[in-house]
């Protein structure tokens, strides 16, 4: 049962974006959920539906059907009459022929009834003389597209291996500059306007560096000065695949999205160098250490806000977090032609990765 706090003075209440109104029913006053408002109002109380047109009395919509016999070409046929559809067609919405095709196939449920009432209330506005206008029901699929800029902040962890004896978190070295991004939102209004499918495409260029200098005591008054430097830059595409929940009840509509993201590397370069100085003797070498997965998968969560600007365009602000499930690196033999001194070595085995992306853009419908 819904828990809401009705306002006895104003005659309405709210619960998680749902609107409730005080209605007189058989001498009792009940707070019912308002599914559609306008010249004809659709109410719901538990699993029962009611309709009120203008100042007329409340009418209940029932799912009971009656079978009647009709004759076609002299032969009898059984026709099933749905009482709620007959009531809407004959008594409530007779002044709007546009709803008749919907009533022929509608069932007694939220989605079908809300689509019918939306068509009727656009066809016959409140407090105006009867006028018929061309209207259509909600489309089966609604598509919204957007473009914008994204700001990215990520961290890459390096776990020690036999060849890269470093345990470090690499932070980006580039400034916080924007990169292009686009997105696509698919919604099925006839099923639910609260849930959508969201995807898109982002381009990112990241550069990381980690440097350290330490003095190692090897015993017997032997001390070694060791310097290490890791450097990596990578360009990649990100494709989020998310299910989105649009929070109702607000003009500026917040939303929450969860799902996964595909990380596709385009170009990368890396190097690991180490220098050991002992008794004025310097030994150093350098070789690449990073080979990314051809396709990495991360879990993502996003929180956003859609702000209507006019009938067709909205502003969008979104923050998204992603974490690679199995890191973004893989074992691979180092190319001996590029690093002869490192022949036989392998690349980094694990590279945990997480990132936060902030996007700002413009969405069409």
305-358 per-position pLDDT tens digit: 999 888 789 999 999 999 999 888 888 877 777 777 777 777 777 788 999 999
Quick one: how far is CA 192 from the chain centroid? 14
Compute how many other C-beta atoms are within 10 angstroms of the C-beta atom of residue 223: 12
pLDDT of 8? 40
Closest CA to 364 of 146, 110, 82, 154: 146
Given pLDDT bands bounded at 50, 70 and 90, which one contains residue 201?
Answer: very high
CB 204 within 8 A of CB 161: no
Q: Which residues pair with 149 in a beta bridge?
A: 180, 360
Q: Where are the beta strands (DSSP E) in the chain?
A: 12-15, 18-25, 28-36, 40-45, 48-53, 59-61, 65-72, 75-82, 142-158, 168-172, 178-188, 192-217, 223-246, 253-278, 281-287, 296-308, 313-324, 353-364
pLDDT of 66? 55
Given pLDDT bands bounded at 50, 70 and 90, which one contains residue 263?
Answer: very high
| pLDDT of 34 strictly over 70 | yes
Given pLDDT bands bounded at 50, 70 and 90, which one contains residue 3?
Answer: very low
| pLDDT of 136 strictly over 80 | no
3-state secondary structure at position 324: strand
Closest CA to 326 of 302, 290, 278, 292: 292
| pLDDT of 132 strictly over 50 | no
Per-residue pLDDT, averaged over 179-184, amounts to 92
| pLDDT of 361 strictly over 90 | yes
pLDDT digits (tens, 9 = 90+) for 93-116: 888 888 888 888 788 888 888 888
Label residue 150 exposed, middle or buried (CB < 10 Å: 0-12, 13-18, 19+): buried
CB 104 within 8 A of CB 138: no
What is the DSSP secondary structure assignment for residue 58, as one 8-state letter? Answer: P
Give the rounded percent of residues in the chain with a pLDDT score beyond 90: 22
Segment among 46-55, 292-301, 315-324 with least mean pLDDT = 46-55
Name the average pLDDT for the chain.
79
Give the dihedral sign, CA 105/108/114/118.
Answer: positive
Q: Which residue has the higher pLDDT, 158 or 120?
A: 120
CB 248 within 8 A of CB 33: no
| pTM recorded for the entire structure | 0.58
CB 287 within 8 A of CB 334: yes
Instruction: Using alpha carbons, list the distances in angstroms from residue 128 to 40, 82, 122, 132, 134.
Output: 13, 30, 12, 11, 16
Given pLDDT bands bounded at 50, 70 and 90, which one contains residue 283?
Answer: low
Closest CA to 243 of 187, 168, 165, 296: 187
pLDDT of 138? 58
| pLDDT of 130 strictly over 50 | no
pLDDT of 320? 94
Per-residue pLDDT, averaged over 147-168, amounts to 80
Given pLDDT bands bounded at 50, 70 and 90, which one contains residue 71?
Answer: low
| pLDDT of 124 strictly over 60 | no
Using the structure block, give the residue that is written with the tokens 């993201």. Answer: 261
Per-residue pLDDT, averaged over 276-301, amounts to 80
What is the DSSP secondary structure assignment for residue 295, as one 8-state letter? Answer: S
Compute the distance between CA of residue 283 and CA of residue 273 in angstroms, rounded to an integer: 11
Q: Which residues pair with 269 in a beta bridge?
A: 233
| pLDDT of 4 strictly over 90 | no
pLDDT of 83? 79
Name the region of 54 (left: φ>0; alpha: ψ -120 to 50; beta: rest): left
pLDDT of 5? 38
Alpha helices in 202-293 (DSSP H): none
CB 263 within 8 A of CB 295: yes
CB 34 within 8 A of CB 119: no
Angle at 361 between CA 299 and CA 258, to 5 degrees: 20
3-state secondary structure at position 87: helix
């Amino acid at each position: 049962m819904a828990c809401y706090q009705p306002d006895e003075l104003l005659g309405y209440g709210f619960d998680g974006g749902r609107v409730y109104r005080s209605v007189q029913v058989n001498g009792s006053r009940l707070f019912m959920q308002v599914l559609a408002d306008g010249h004809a109002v659709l109410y719901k109380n538990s699993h029962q539906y009611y309709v009120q047109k203008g100042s007329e009395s409340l009418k209940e919509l029932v799912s009971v059907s009656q079978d009647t016999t009709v004759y076609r070409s002299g032969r009898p046929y059984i026709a099933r009459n749905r009482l709620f559809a007959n009531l809407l067609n004959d008594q409530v919405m007779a002044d709007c022929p546009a709803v008749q095709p919907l009533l022929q196939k509608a069932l007694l449920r939220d989605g079908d009834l809300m689509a019918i009432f939306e068509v009727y209330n656009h066809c016959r506005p409140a407090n105006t003389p009867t006028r018929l206008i061309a209207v259509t029901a909600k489309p089966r699929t609604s598509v919204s597209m957007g473009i914008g800029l994204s700001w990215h902040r990520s961290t890459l962890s390096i776990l020690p291996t036999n060849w890269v004896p470093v345990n470090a978190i690499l932070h980006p070295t580039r400034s916080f500059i924007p990169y292009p991004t686009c997105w696509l939102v698919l919604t099925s209004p006839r099923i639910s306007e609260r849930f959508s499918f969201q995807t898109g495409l982002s381009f990112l260029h990241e550069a990381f560096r980690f440097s350290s200098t330490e003095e190692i005591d090897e015993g017997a008054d032997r001390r070694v000065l060791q310097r290490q430097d890791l450097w990596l830059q990578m360009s990649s595409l990100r494709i989020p695949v998310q299910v989105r929940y649009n929070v109702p009840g607000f003009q500026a509509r917040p939303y929450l999205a969860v799902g996964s993201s595909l990380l596709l590397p385009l170009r990368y370069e890396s190097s690991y160098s180490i220098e050991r100085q002992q008794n004025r003797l310097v030994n150093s070498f350098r070789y690449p250490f990073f080979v990314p997965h051809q396709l990495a998968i991360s879990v993502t969560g996003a929180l956003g806000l859609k702000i209507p600007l006019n009938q067709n365009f909205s502003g969008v602000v979104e923050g998204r977090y992603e974490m690679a499930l199995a890191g973004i690196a893989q074992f691979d033999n180092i190319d001996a032609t590029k690093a002869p001194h490192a022949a036989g070595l392998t690349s980094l085995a694990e590279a945990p990765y997480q990132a936060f992306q902030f996007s700002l853009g413009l969405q069409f419908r």
